[in-house]
Structures are given as structure tokens and as C-alpha cells.
Chains A and B, each alone.
Chain A
Amino acid sequence: MTHITEDERQGLADGTLDADGTAAAVAHLAQCDACAADVTQLRTLMHQLHDSPPPSSPNDSAIEELWTTIRARIEARKVVELSAAPPTHVAAVTRSGHWHVWRVAAAVVAVAAAGVVAIVQFHSRPVTTAAGSPASASPAASAQPALLQASDSSRAYQQQVQQLLDEIEMQRAMLGPTTTAVADSDLSAIDQAIAELRAALLRDPNNAALRQLLATSYQQKLDLLKRLNNAS
């Protein structure tokens, strides 16, 4: 006797098996205690999952504490948004609630605005080129929300880049000199592009094409760092 497959067991348990498959599988269960027991156990698990209460929530003081940090982070961010100075040290509250100094380029934050939309969308798979179309980059249409998003994604971006750089630094030795040289040249090519685009945006902040190009360059850098990071 051939037992039913894992496909069929799981499908029976959660009800996703089609009608024909179910009929055949049920017929087998009627004559096979082993499979019947297995499916029953899976079903019990499904019930247990379905009936499980949500995990116990944080207590009142934890909820207060969390809010205090969230509020501080929101307010710290406002400072970043409003400052239009060239790259400076800007104080921001980190996740754990401690004050920490980040090297945040405020100018970039403001400037990356429209680009951020594209950066965020870039992650979703598969690609939807249409979403990053020039319409969404129109500065007049989306100035305010875009600015708000910019600060967040730009900070998240900086954090992500820094984290990757730190990890790569540790792996440098394992990459071999040739690969390291290639990667360094690639990185500096991207950094140079980013610098040029940022300078150009300072002169012409409403240029949608520039914003898109900058967003693409940021994404290129992130991509490359991730690729490098995968190398070891």
C-alpha cells in the first residue's frame, strides 16, 4: 500500500487539497491508521494555532516606555527634516531609546525625497517599473509626504549601509586581493556618482530626473554591498 504524500497530508489538514485529491486521500485514511493518525495530529495543530490567544501584551509601564521612545524618535526626526545645512552630526534617538550621534547628511535627506519612493518600491518583487514613473517624482505633487518618508528611509538606508560596511570590513581578508580591488573600484564609482548627483541636486533641487538617478545610485550601492556581503 502506498501512503498518502506530505502534500496530501498537509492539504487535508488545512483544507487546501482539491476535491478529487481529498476524496482519494480520505479513502486511504479509512484503511490506514498510520496516515489517519498523522493527519489527525496535523489537524489538532491547526485547531490549536487557530484558537491560540495572541501572545501576552507588554504591561502598562512597558507600553508607556515604548511610547516615550516612539515620541522621542518622531520628534528627533522633525529636527532632521527641517535643517537644511550641509552634512552635519545630527542627534537622533536609536531603537533602544539611547541618544546617539549619527552622521546624517541633512541635505541628502531633503534631496533624496522623491528618490526614496523608488528605493522603497525597488525592494518589492517582481519589479514594477511603472510605479517609479516620473509622475510620482513630481516635486509639487508629493513634496510633503515625500519629505516625511525621506527622513525615515534615508536614515534606514544609512544604517543598512553602515551595517553592511561593518560586516564587509571583517570579511575583506577572505575575498582575495583581486576581488577586493574590483569591489573597491565599483564602490568608489558609485560613491563618486552619488556625490556628483547630490551636488547637482543642490543646484537644481526640483529636477525629477536627478532625484531618480540618485535613488538608483543609492540602490546600486546597497545592491553591491549586499553582493559583497554574500561573498564569504
Chain B
Amino acid sequence: MTSGANAPRSTAAADGASMMGDAVRLAQAGDLRAFESVYRAHVTAVYALCRRMVGDDSEARDLVQDIFVRAWEKFASFRGESSLATWLHRLGVNVILEHLRTSRRDALRFADDPVDDVPAHGASAAERIDARLDLDAAIARLPSGARIVLVLHDLHGYSHDEIARLTGIAPGTSRAQLWRARRHLMRMLDR
């Protein structure tokens, strides 16, 4: 878990191809069809990020839309210093956090709510069996603050300082959240 390694783990292979380089330049110049090919090359990775960060499929799809619309608008600011996948990933994280900040008031500030425990709806036996089978389902059931930190830290390699900067919580809180998230997961995965 080193800091600075916040590129998505599954960097799209298409990124390096020169064909994609052309598409990027065209899209930056305002060519929507070129942008479409950028969308197709990256939608899977962007969706995966959203799905894990918010834990809900339809919310994730809405966010995929938001991220690509935002990407289109900010495309001029993509200078190729990082890979396109990394740029989209960062933009995506920002869009998602912004969304969570407004849609789940205090989700980040009170991410560390010490008394709240595993979500109430995670209680039924059927769901518990489900969760045991599926790590993603378990991640989805984490309280949102804990989930955000876990996804960013354990799946995408962000440091606590970076998470603190992005979310506004203290690095110590991020650490506490992460531990709590892992303990929750262990319990849900029945270990």
C-alpha cells in the first residue's frame, strides 16, 4: 500500500494504442464519435469503480453517465501527462465523492459514526448466504463511509493522506474506517 499508486489496477490496454491517441485528440477537438470510442474503451473500468464505490447498480449507471459527461466537458484539460485511464479514474473518484457528498448528507463527515454497525438490511439469513458467496455484495453492504475508504485504499491503492485530501476526513479517521470496513467484511464473509 504505497502512496501515489492511485492508478486503477486494471488499466485499459487500449490506452497505449495510437489509434486511441488519435481518438483522444479528435474527441478533445469536439468530435463526439471519437469520444464514443473513448467511452467504449473505458466504460467497463469506470462502471466497476462506480459500482464498488456506491454499491448499487442503478446508482452506478447514473454515475457512469455523469462521469463521461463531465469527461467530455473537461476533456480539453486532459494533457496526456497521465494515462487516459488514470485521468478518467481520478475524475470518476471526484464525481462519485461529489455525488455522495450531496446525496448522502454527512456520509463522509460521519463516516466514522462509532455506534452505527453493519447496515440493518444486511441482517436476513438469505442475504448473509449471498454475501458469503460474493465479495462484491459484501462490499456493497458496508456503510458508505467505510466502503469508500476500503475501495480507495485496498482496491485502488490510495494512501490515507490522499483519501483524507479527497474526502475531507482526517487520515486517522480514514485508517479507522478501513479497519472497520475490513472487520465488517470478515464478519459478512463469515470468517
Contacts and interface: CB of A to CB of B under 8 A. Distances in A.
A70 B51 contact: no
A: interface residue count bin: 35 or more
A91 B75 CA distance: 24
A170 interface: no
B102 A160 contact: yes
Interface residues of B, number: 45
Task: Give the residue among B74, B76, B105, B182 with the most A Cβ atoms within 10 A.
Answer: B182
A71 B77 contact: no
Interface string A158-174: 00100100010000000
Contacts, number: 104
A156 B66 CA distance: 10
A149 interface: yes
Q: Dominant SS at the A interface?
A: helix
Interface stretch (B41-49, B80-88, B123-131, B141-149): B41-49
A42 B65 contact: no
Interface of B: 1, 10, 32, 35-36, 39-40, 43-45, 47-48, 51-52, 61-62, 64-66, 68-70, 72-74, 76-77, 98, 102, 105-106, 135-136, 150, 154-155, 165, 168, 178-179, 182, 185-186, 189, 191
Given A44-B191, A49-B150, 7 more contacts: A45-B191, A52-B136, A55-B47, A57-B43, A73-B69, A96-B62, A148-B73
